[in-house]
Amino acid sequence: MMRNLPALIIIFPLVSALLSVFLSKISLYLGRNLVITSIFISLALSIVQLREVIINGPISYKFGNYAVPYGIEFKIDTINAIMLVMICIIGLLTGLFSTNFEENSKDRIKIGGSHALIALLCVGMLGMTSTGDVFNLYVFLEVTSLSGYVLIALGGSKGVVSAFRYLLIGTVAATFYLLGVAMLYSVTGTLNMQDMHDILSSRANDDTMLIAMCMFIAAFGIKMALFPFHGWQPSAYTHAQTGARPLIAGVMGKIPAYAMFRYLYCVYGTEFKYFRYFLIVIGALSVMGMIYGSVRAMAQTDIRKMLAYSSVAQISYITLGFAIGTPIAIAGSFLHMFGHAFMKGGLFFASGSIRYKYGIVDMNDFGYIYKKMPLTSALLSISALSMIGIPPTVGFFSKWYLALGAAGEREYIYIAILVISSLLNAIYFFKMIEKIFMAKDRDLKPIGRDSVMELPWTMMIPIVISILMILGLGLFNVKIINILLMSLGGIGI
C-alpha cells in the first residue's frame, strides 16, 4: 500500500469518475458521494505521502515495474507532494461546494456527470503534478483540459461560447507542447524527464532546445493564462459552472505553471546556454501581466470578471519567482501558488455563495451584504487583504520571499513592480470592500430556500477552511518554505 501511494492517489478519483454516472442511475446522489469520498481518500493519502517524502526523501514510482527510461515514472519530491495536497484540498472543498448547485435538478446524468468531471479534473492535475515523463504529462494535460472545457461549458449558454474559445486555443497549446516534446525526443530519444536532462546537458543541442523551449512557454503560457496568452481566460472563468469555479480558477492555472518550472529547472537546467534569456523573457511577461491584469480588473463591476483578471495578474507573481530564479524566490512562488489557491478559491467560494443565496454577481448590488452574510464577507475581506499583501495573511509572505529573491539578484525593478502591483490590487479590492460594507442596502430577497443558517454546511466548510488556510499559511509559512527548500536546494541560480 505504502509503496503504491503515488498511483493510488490518482486511481481513486479516476475510478470514482468512471463509476459516478452509472451509480447515479442507481441512486440519485450515490455517484456524487462516491466522488467526494474518493477525493477525500486521495487527500488523506497525499498527506501520508507528503510525510513520507519529508522523512525519506523523493519517491520514484515505476508503473508496471518497467525500468526507468523505458517505462512511465512518477517522481514525487517535496514540492509536488505539497501541491498534491493542495489540489486534493481544493478539489474536496469544490466537490462539497458544488453539491448545492444542482439541488433543484433531478437530472441524474447531470448530477453524476458534473461530479465525475470534477474528479477527472483532479485526476488530470494530480497526474500532471506527479509525473516524471514528458509524454505522460501530455496525456494528463489533455485530461485536465477536456474536463475543464466541459465544466466551463456547463455554465450556461455563455459558458458554451467561452468553452469553445478555450477549446480552440487550448488545442493549439496542446499541439505546441506536443511539437516541443517531439523536438526534444528527436535529439534525445527519451521521454523521461531526468534522463532527458542528463542527455541534454551532455550534448549541445542548443538550437533545438531553444525552439522547443519557445514552444513550451507558449503552450504552458496559454494553459496558465500568462500575459499575453490570457485571451481565453476571463470569459472562461466568468462563465464556468458556479460550483466548479473555485477549482478551475484556484488550481487549474497553476499546474501548467509548475510544469513550466519543471521544464525550466529540471529538464533544461541552468547550464542551458539561453537560460538567462528565457528568464528575462518570462520576467518581462510577468511584469506586463501583473500590471495589465490589475488595470483590466479595475474596470470590472462583475465580481467574477474582476477576479478572473486578477488571476492574470496573480499567475504572474508565480512566474516572476521563476524568472528571478533563486531558491528563495522560487520557494516564494510556490508559497504564492498555495496561498493563491485558497485566496482565489476562497473569493470564488464567497462569490458563488452570494450568487447561490441572492442570485447576484454585480458588485453594485452587494450593499450591506456583510450584515446578511457575515462569514462570507469576512472571507471576501481577508482574501482581498491577502491579495494586496497585508500581513499576517499569506499574500504578504509570498511577496516577501519574491522581493527578497529579487533584492538578492539586484533586480530592483521587480521589487518596484511588486509594490506597484500590490497598490493596483488595493485599488480594486478596496472597491469591492467598499461595496460590501458601504454601498446602499438593496433589500435583497433570498432565492431558493430560506434557512436559519447563513449557508448550508457544505458551503460553510469551504469558506471557513479558506479563511483558516489564508491565515495559517501566512503565520506558519516558514514550515512550508523549509519543506520546499529541501527540494529546491540543488535547483536555481
Partner 1 sequence: MNEINICLPLIAISAPLIASILIYILGEHIGKNAREAITFISSAILLISVYSLVPHVLKGEAIEIIFLEIVKGVNFSFNIDAAGMVFACVASTLWVLTSCYSVGYMRGHGEKNQTGYFSAFAICIFATIGLCFSANLITFFIFFEILTIGTYPLVVHYRDEEGRRSGRKYLAYTLISGQIFFASIVIIYMFTGTLEFKAGGFIKPDMLPMPLMLILFIMMVGAGAVKAGLMPLHSWLPAAMVAPTPVSALLHAVAVVKAGAFCTLRVVLYVFGPEAAKACHGAEILSYMAVITIIVSSLIAIRKDNLKARLAFSTVGQLSYIILGISMLTPESSVGAIYHIVAHAFMKITLFMCAGAIFVTAHKKNISEMVGIGRRMPITMGAFTTASVALAGFPFFVGFVSKANIILGAMKINNLLFSMTLVVSALLALTYLMPVVLIGFKKDIINEEFQKKDDANLMMRIPLVITAVISVILGISPNFGLHLYTLAEIAAKSIFG
Min CB(93)–partner 1 separation in Å: 23
First to last CA, the chain: 38
- Give the residue with the Cβ less far from partner 1, 16 or 294: 294
- Give the residue with the Cβ less far from partner 1, 198 or 409: 409
Q: Rounded CA gap, 416 and 403, in Å?
A: 9
For residues 256, 33, 43, 94, the Cα torsion angle rounded to the nearest 10 degrees is 50
φ/ψ region of 393 (left if φ > 0, alpha if ψ in -120 to 50, else beta) reads: beta
Min CB(403)–partner 1 separation in Å: 4
Residue 393 identity (one-letter amino acid): T
Q: Please enumerate in sequence order all residues whose Cβ is within 8 A of that of 111, keeping only pairs 6 or more positions apart, or say none.
A: 24, 28, 29, 31, 32, 102, 105
Name the 3-class secondary structure at 269: coil
Distance of CA 422 to the CA centre of its chain: 20
Min CB(461)–partner 1 separation in Å: 19
DSSP state of 263: I
Min CB(374)–partner 1 separation in Å: 9
> Residue 228: is it exposed, middle or buried by C-beta count within 10 angstroms (0-12/13-18/19+)?
exposed
Min CB(351)–partner 1 separation in Å: 21
- Give the residue with the Cβ less far from partner 1, 95 or 405: 405
Min CB(57)–partner 1 separation in Å: 21
- Give the residue with the Cβ less far from partner 1, 302 or 409: 409
As a whole number of angstroms, the longest Cα–Cα distance in the chain is 70
- Give the residue with the Cβ less far from partner 1, 184 or 481: 481
Query: Of 191, 335, 182, 316, nearest to 260 (Cα)?
Result: 316
- Give the residue with the Cβ less far from partner 1, 176 or 401: 401
- For the residues of 197-234, what is the DSSP string, one character each? HHHHHHS--HHHHHHHHHHHHHHHHHHHT-TTS-TTHH
- Interface contacts to partner 1, rule CB under 8 A: 328, 385, 388-392, 396-397, 399-401, 403-404, 406-408, 412, 415-416, 418-419, 422-423, 426, 430, 434, 437-438, 475-478, 481-482
Min CB(328)–partner 1 separation in Å: 7
Distance of CA 100 to the CA centre of its chain: 22
Tell me the three cell numbers of residue 203. Answer: 550534448
- Give the residue with the Cβ less far from partner 1, 392 or 446: 392
Tell me the three cell numbers of residue 48. Answer: 501520508
Min CB(363)–partner 1 separation in Å: 14
- Give the residue with the Cβ less far from partner 1, 251 or 385: 385
Residue with cell 443558517: 453
Min CB(485)–partner 1 separation in Å: 8
- Give the residue with the Cβ less far from partner 1, 103 or 434: 434
Question: Is it true that the peptide bond before 228 is cis, omega within 30 degrees of 0?
Answer: yes
